[in-house]
Amino acid sequence: MPSRLLQVIALTLTALGLAPGAAHLLELPVKLAYPPALYAQVTSTLYALFGPVGGAVQMAAMVTVAVLAFRSRRLPQGRLLAASAAALLASLLLWAFLVAPVNGEWGSSADVSQAEFAAAYARLRARWEYGHVAAFIAWFAGWLGMAAAFTMLPPAGAGIRLQP
């Protein structure tokens, strides 16, 4: 297995990458009950650091896991790590195709009336919220696969003896 330090970095970055999606998931029932004007006001101000910080952490995590998968390609854990890197990439692609276009449309609605602003948010709310849920599920699957790869026992007879 590759360097333990790289494993710790990958686990840490990927765990931190779970935070934005978990936050969206926990907020979902409450935010969906908000009237459109309140939803628009909260959503347009609450997530200022999610993109710059969360996005950077998630990109770094995906690259780190991909490097580990490449370095482990001849080991039993290699396939799990490759699947994990693919799941993390899928999460980022889900966000890019489902959530990012909504962010763009909402951003272009900033200079309209309050009613039009709220209507724009109401119209795209489900896609934005459930896009985050889909991306979180893929990210969590990637984290689980990586954790499983890092905790795999060596094959029987690999020369490792447990001390009594």
Report residue 64 as tokens.
């780190």
- Its pTM surpasses 0.85: yes
Q: What is the mean pLDDT of residues 30-57?
A: 89
pLDDT at 153: 59
CA angle (158, 141, 91) in 5-degree steps: 130
How far is the C-alpha of 82 from the C-alpha of 149, rounded, in Å?
Answer: 10
Greatest mean pLDDT among 35-49, 58-72, 112-126, 149-163: 58-72
CA distance 139 to 161: 35
Q: What is the mean pLDDT of the chain?
A: 89
Residue scoring higher pLDDT (94 or 151): 94
Q: Which pLDDT value is given to residue 155?
A: 57
C-beta of residue 118 within 8 angstroms of C-beta of residue 36: yes
Instruction: Please classify residue 103 by burial: count the beta carbons closer than 10 Å to its beta carbon, then call 0-12 exposed, 13-18 middle and 19+ buried.
Output: middle
**For residue 154, what pLDDT is reported?**
63
